[in-house]
Amino acid sequence: MGIASKHKIKFTQQLLRWDKEKNNRQMPWKGEKDPYKIWLSEIILQQTRVEQGLGYFKKFLSQYPTIHKLAAAKDERVFKLWEGLGYYNRCRNLLYKARYIVKKLKGKFPETYEEILSLKGVGTYTAAAIASFAFNLPHAVVDGNVLRVLARVFGIKKPVDSAAGKKYISKLAHELLDKKQAGLYNQAIMDFGAVVCRPLNPACSDCVFKNNCYAYQRNVIGGLPVKGKRPKIKTRWFYYFIMEYRGRFYINKRTGNDIWKNLYEFILEESNSELPIKELAARVEKQGLPGKRQYRILSVSRLYNQQLSHQHIQGRFIHIKLVKPVKLPGIKAVYPKQLARYAFPKFVHSYLAEKSGYLS
C-alpha cells in the first residue's frame, strides 16, 4: 500500500473521528431520511448561504410538508414564498419536478442516483446528497466546502472550476468516501469545510489534518483552492416607471428566457448606460406610455443595485401620476396593498420595502 493510499485512509478515519467527537453543527435537515425534505433543502441551499436558506426551508415545510402539497400549490403562491432567495429557475424546477413525481411517479421519489440525477434542476452534487442522505448510497458529494477541504489538504493545484479540476476532485472524493457510511461521511466533510476549513480565517490550529495538510505545512492556505478566470460581469440599467392612475399601479409579469422570469415588475425601460430622467421620459413617451402632458413625475428614487452571478443591475424608480389610463397587453392595475400578493425580484422588492404601506 502506497503513501497516497495510507493518506487517504487516514483522512477518512480522522474526519469521521472529528465528526463523532467534535462536530456540533446543528442543522434541521441533518439525519433526515425523507428524500423530499432533503431535496427541498438542497435546492434552497444552491447558491444560498445556510443562514438565509434556513428560514426559507422552515417556511416551505410549514406550507408544503409533503411533495403532494407542493405539487398542488399555485405557481404564484410558491414564487411569493421564494421571494428574496434569487435564482428563480430553482423554484420553477422545484415545482416542475414535484408535479412530475406526483403525476408520473405516483408520488414516489426516485431511489437511485441515476434516477435522481434525471430530475430537472438536479445536478451531480444534489443527486449525490439525496442518494447518500436518504438511501445511504455510495456517492460522494462535491460542493464548495468539499472542494476547499480536499484542495488544501491534498495540495490540488488544478483550477477547481475547470473540467479537469472537477474530474480530478470528484475521483478523489469518491476514493475517500466511506462506502458503508456514505451519508454520515458526506455530511461530516461538508460540516468540516463550513466550521473549520473556512474560506477566510480557517481554524487551522484546531484542524485534525494540520500535520498532513499540504496548504498548512507550506503556508499557502490563501492560495488554495485555485480558481480559473472569472467571467466578465455585464452591467444593465433598469429604470422602472411606477405609473399610478386613480390610486392603482400598473405591473406586469416578466416572460422570455431572461432573469426573473415569471416574477412581476413595474413598466421597465432598460439601458446599457445611465440616462437622465428627461431622456428616459422621452423614450417612454415615444412608446405611448404615456404621451406628452399625460403625466407628471412625483419622485425619482435613489440608485439601487443588485449583484447577480454574471450581471450587475443598477437603476432607479420613477413614480409618475397619469392623467388617463394606459393600455398594454399583460399589465395589471393593482392597489398598493395588493402588491404583497405578487412575487417581485429582490431589486424591486427592496424599493417597495422602503415605501411605507406598499407591502402592508
Supply the CATH number for residue 163's domain. 1.10.340.30
Q: Which residues contact 209 (CB under 8 A, 6 or more apart)?
A: 11, 14, 153, 216
Mean per-residue pLDDT for 73-84?
93
For residues 116-124, average pLDDT: 88
Q: Are 126 and 43 in contact (CB under 8 A)?
A: yes
Residue 254: inside a domain, yes or no?
Answer: yes
Cβ atoms of 133 and 45 within 8 Å: the answer is: no
**49 and 156 housed in the same domain:** yes
The answer to whether the Cα torsion of 202, 203, 209, 212 is positive or negative is positive
Over residues 312-328, the mean pLDDT reads 91
Q: Are residues 211 and 295 in the same domain?
A: no
Average pLDDT over residues 13-21: 96
DSSP helix, strand, coil percent of the chain (3-state; round to 5): 45, 15, 40
Asked, for residue 360, whether it belongs to a domain, the answer is no
Same domain, yes or no, for 140 and 282? no
pLDDT of residue 358: 58
Q: Quick check: is 204 in a domain?
A: yes
48 within some domain: yes
Q: What is the per-residue pLDDT for 293?
A: 77
Task: Say whether both 151 and 170 belong to one domain.
Answer: yes
Confidence of residue 270 (pLDDT cuts 50, 70, 90): very high
Structure confidence at residue 360 (pLDDT): 43
Boundary residue ending a domain (223, 255, 274): 223
Tell me if 246 is assigned to some domain. yes
Which DSSP helix (H) or strand (E) runs through 298?
strand 295-300
**188 sits in which H/E element:** helix 182-195
Contact residues for 48 (Cβ-Cβ < 8 A; gap 6+): 56, 85, 86, 87
Q: Above 80 in pLDDT, residue 3?
A: no
Residues 215 and 142 in one domain: yes
Q: Could you tell me if 191 and 310 lie in one domain?
A: no
User: What is the pLDDT, as a whole number, of residue 85?
Assistant: 87
How confident is the model at residue 133, as a pLDDT? 95
pLDDT at 357 over 60: no
Q: Is the pLDDT of residue 107 over 50?
A: yes
In a domain, 190, yes or no: yes
Distance CA 59, CA 45 (A): 14
User: Are residue 215 and residue 240 in the same domain, yes or no?
Assistant: no
For residue 14, give the C-alpha cell. 480522522
Q: Look at residue 17 in the predicted model and tell me its pLDDT.
A: 96
Indicate the DSSP class of residue 325: -
Same domain, residue pair 211 and 107: yes
Angle at 314 (CA atoms; ends 313, 317), nearest 5 degrees: 120
State yes or no: pLDDT of 1 exceeds 60: no
Choose, from 21, 42, 114, 285, the residue flagged as catalytic.
Answer: 42
| Structural domain span for residue 318 | 234-354
Mean pLDDT on 351-355: 88
Phi and psi at 305, nearest 5°, equal -135, 145
In a domain, 359, yes or no: no
Q: Are 245 and 264 members of one domain?
A: yes
| 206 & 239 share domain | no
CATH number at residue 252: 3.90.79.10
The pLDDT, as a whole number, for residue 26 is 85
Quick: pLDDT tens for 198-249: 999 999 999 999 999 999 999 999 999 998 877 788 999 999 999 999 999 9
354 is catalytic: no
Looking at every residue in the chain, the average pLDDT score rounds to 90
Question: Which uninterrupted H or E stretch holds 312?
Answer: strand 311-322
b/e burial code for range 308-324 (CB count within 10 A of at least 16 → b):
beeeebbbbbbbbebee
For the cut 80, the answer to whether the pLDDT of residue 124 exceeds it is yes
Other C-beta atoms closer than 10 Å to the C-beta of 143 total: 19
Residues 13 and 121 reside in one and the same domain: yes
The helix or strand, by DSSP H or E, that contains position 9, with its residue range, turns out to be helix 3-21
Helix (H) or strand (E) holding 115: helix 113-117
163, 194 contact by CB (below 8 A): no
**Within a domain: residue 339?**
yes
Q: Is the pLDDT of residue 2 over 50?
A: no
Total count of domains within the chain? 2
Q: What interhelical angle do 182-195 and 144-154 show, nearest 10? A: 80
The pLDDT assigned to 121 comes to: 79
What is the rounded CA–CA span in Å between residue 67 and residue 61? 10
Are both 69 and 180 inside the same structural domain? Answer: yes
Is residue 86 very low, low, confident or very high in pLDDT (cuts 50, 70, 90)?
A: confident
CA–CA gap between residue 280 and residue 286 (Å, rounded): 10
Q: What is the pLDDT of residue 260?
A: 92
